[in-house]
Amino acid sequence: MDYAIEHDEEARRFHVDVGGLESELVYRLSDRVMRIVHTGVPMPLEGQGIASALVKAALATARREGWKVVPACSYAAAFFQRHHEYDDLLA
């Protein structure tokens, strides 16, 4: 499913509203390294691929901007273990 994920560059977060509930991915950026520090999806929305879509949006931005990535939250770390096509982004 495609989600209308928005990137709030100033707040350093990606977010999406689904059915009135907000999911988010929060990152820190320093020296061209994106550190993903939090991925959160409300319980009623779990299992719908929203967290994965948020991570993919963040990684697409990192790739486009030439950033490396540190998956500091548990979901992002697990995502990288399952999706080796993004290994080139790892810091």
Is 31 a domain residue? yes
Structure tokens at 79: 């995502």
Structure tokens at 15: 């977010």
The band of 1, judged by pLDDT with boundaries at 50, 70 and 90, is confident
Percent of the chain at pLDDT > 90 equals 98
Is 56 a domain residue? yes
pLDDT above 80: residue 23 = yes
At 55, which CATH number?
A: 3.40.630.30
* Mean pLDDT, range 49-77, rounded to an integer: 98
Dist. CA 28–CA 39, nearest whole Å: 13
Is 1 a domain residue? no
Averaged confidence pLDDT in the chain: 97
The answer to whether 28 and 38 are in contact (CB under 8 A) is: no
Enclosing domain of residue 12: 6-89
Q: What is the pTM of this model?
A: 0.96
The band of 2, judged by pLDDT with boundaries at 50, 70 and 90, is confident
